[in-house]
Amino acid sequence: MANLIDGKQVSAAVKEQVRLETEKLVQESGKRPGLAVVIVGNNPASRVYVNNKKKACETVGFQSFEYTLPEDTTQEELLELVQTLNSDSNVNGILVQLPVPPQIDDKAIINAISAEKDVDAFHPENVGRIMIGDYAFLPCTPAGVMELIDSTGVEISGKKCVVIGRSNIVGKPMAMLLLHRSGTVTICHSRTQDLASVTREADILVAAVGKANFVTADMVKDGAVVIDVGMNRLENGKLCGDVDFAQVEPKASWITPVPGGVGPMTIAMLMKNTLTAFKQQNQLA
CATH number, domain of 236, equals 3.40.50.720
Instruction: Single out the catalytic residue among 97, 244, 251, 281.
Output: 97
In a domain, 59, yes or no: yes
The reply to whether 145 and 218 lie within a common domain is: yes
pLDDT per residue as tens, the chain (285 positions): 899 999 999 999 999 999 999 999 999 999 999 999 999 998 998 999 999 999 999 999 999 999 999 999 999 999 999 999 999 999 999 999 999 999 999 999 999 999 999 999 999 999 999 999 999 999 999 999 999 999 999 999 999 999 999 999 999 999 999 999 999 999 999 999 999 999 999 999 999 999 999 999 999 999 999 999 999 988 898 899 999 999 999 999 999 999 999 999 999 999 999 999 999 999 996
- DSSP annotation of 2 reads P
In a domain, 268, yes or no: no
- 151 and 234 in a single domain? The answer is yes
Query: Residues 241, 186: one domain?
Result: yes
CA gap 151, 148 in Å, rounded: 5
Rounded Cα gap, residues 276 and 273, in angstroms? 5
Whether 53 is catalytic is: yes
Q: Which domain holds residue 208?
A: 140-263
Buried b (16+ CB within 10 A) or exposed e, 48-77: ebbeebbebbebbbbbbbebebeeebebee
Whether 124 is in a domain gets the answer no
Give the CATH number for residue 83: 3.40.50.10860
Closest CA to 219 of 204, 199, 205: 199
150 and 218 housed in the same domain: yes
Cα(259)–Cα(48) distance, rounded to whole angstroms?
15
Residue type, position 10, single letter: V
Residue 27 designated active-site:
no
- Considering the candidates 15, 53, 221, 251, report the single residue annotated as catalytic: 53
Q: Which of 15, 117, 118, 120 is catalytic?
A: 120
**Does residue 279 have an active-site annotation?**
no
Q: Domains in the chain: how many in total? A: 2
